[in-house]
Structure 1
Amino acid sequence: MSNVAGRRSQHPSVRDGAAGFTLIELLVSLALMGMAAALLLQGLAMAGVVAQRERASISGLEEVIAAQRLLRSGIERLRPVTRSDSALPIVELRGTAGILTFVGPPLDRMAPDALQRFRLTRTASGDLVLYSASIRKIDLDRDGSDLIGWTPNTLLRGVRDLSISYLGPARAGLDRGWQDRWWDRPQPPELIRIRIEFAGRDRRKWPDLIVRPRATTNAACRIDALTGRCGGES
């Protein structure tokens, strides 16, 4: 009897030990699951950051491509309009390292076929802007800093530096090559190069945009005051 009682007295302690060991396993499992969840959340957060950066990179690339396409289209189609305020055949195209002003068809192909004046520049706030105005506006400040009457078309933001160069024949004893000024010439430059640097940690890249205007000095024209087109155009 004593042996049976002894064996019976041992049963509760065995069950208690088994229950305690199972509780420890449960706590360890919960801890491991918590660590796994934390790692999973961290991985998801990192993946979200990477995806956001990729989207920003793609968006920035699309902005650069769109800006280059628009500028290429405008500069390629510029018109060598002869200035009416000069006795010499001077084309209405003036450019410096930071500003380019020229005449060409409207950017919107669905717009009326009246020539526009364009001015490409960088604003003080770092925006790359292509201003436009109808060539019929006689009170427009063509070459100064007054932009009243011009319509701004913002191409890019966050631009730190804009550099424009012009390739053409030698002038004033200079060798033929890239120049940072094209002013009151009888013909457009052979090539126009536009370089841009972005500000700060901006990852966008701007490949050199080099454009050859289709117009030549032989296409110089005077504007018809009624149609806004080159004289002789149909």
Structure 2
Amino acid sequence: MRYRGDAGFTLLEIIVALVVLGVLLATLSQGVHFGFAAWGRQNQSVQVAESLQATDRTLRRLAEQIEPGTERDAGKLIGEPHAMALTSTLPIGPDGAMAAADISLMVDHDHQLILSWLPHVHAQRLVAAPPPHVSVLLSHVDTIDLGYWSDSAAAWSTSWDNTSVPDLIRIRIVFPAHDKRHWPDIVAAPIRQQPTG
């Protein structure tokens, strides 16, 4: 029994206060954990989207800037169903200036979408070519499906071996079945015209 002059809390009041404090701390801890997990998932999703957007821009620019060649130095696009070799422009100068490069695009045995390139030379090499520069555009890629549109044939083809460039190029990035990443087909029209004379 408590008297008026007594100060302090009973043991029961202290236990109740500790229980309430424990429940509040547990709830706060779960909220913070959920918030960090949601932030992590959102951050990962943003990074994946940024990576896909950067790859989209790179591939679209390569297709749009295919070198059609000249009468002396004929351009050449060798297109296969899952790989492509072409001459296009890349920022390869010391100051990032755009220059012509011989480029190969393919998915390697490690399931990486790779871009390998060498500076384009307008003459036949007298010595062996140096090893190409290799850049990984995306990892964990199953394959790429390529299509080449010709207005004259009015159809898509899965291969192209011609001195002229196709009217459209379609690039489909195929991810493994369990992968949650999806990206729409990249369709680009080469915009360079072969100079006359």
TM-score by length of 1: 0.70
**Structure 2 portions without partners, runs of 5+:** none
Which segments of 5 or more consecutive residues in structure 1 lack a partner in the other structure?
1-13, 141-147, 222-231
Identity of aligned residues (%): 26
| Bigger fraction of residues in strand | 2
Partner of 2:132: 150
Runs of 4+ aligned residues of structure 1 deviating over 6 Å after TM superposition are none
1:179 equivalenced with 2:157 (yes/no): yes
Q: CA deviation at 1:25?
A: 2.3
Aligned length: 189
Q: Which one of 65, 83, 91 corresponds to residue 107 of structure 1?
A: 91
Q: What does residue 125 of structure 1 align with?
A: 110
SS at match of 2:149: strand
Change beyond 3 A, Cα 1:166–1:189: same
Matches within 5 A, 1:39-188: 39-81=27-69, 91-108=75-92, 110-111=95-96, 114-136=99-121, 138=125, 139-140=128-129, 149-169=131-151, 176-183=154-161, 185-188=162-165
Higher share in helix: 1
Given that residues 166 and 189 in structure 1 are in contact (C-alpha distance below 8 angstroms), is that contact kept between their aligned partners in structure 2? yes
Q: CA deviation at 1:113?
A: 6.2
Task: Kindly provide the amino acid, as one letter, of the partner of residue 107 in structure 2.
Answer: R
Q: CA deviation at 1:161?
A: 2.4
What do you get for the CA RMSD once the two structures are aligned?
3.0
Contact 1:94 1:100 in 2 (8 A): yes
User: Match for residue 198 of structure 1?
Assistant: 175
Partners of 1:100 and 1:121 within 8 A in 2:
yes
CA 1:83–1:121: 2 relative to 1, 3 Å: farther
Measured after TM superposition, the shift of residue 199 of structure 1 is: 3.3
Q: Are 1:93 and 1:102, in contact at CA under 8 Å, matched by a contact in 2?
A: yes
TM superposition score normalised by structure 2: 0.82
Measured at CA, do residues 70 and 108 of structure 1 come closer, stay the same or move farther in structure 2, by a change above 3 Å?
farther
**Higher Cα radius of gyration:** 1
Question: Which of 7, 12, 15 is equivalent to 2:2?
Answer: 15
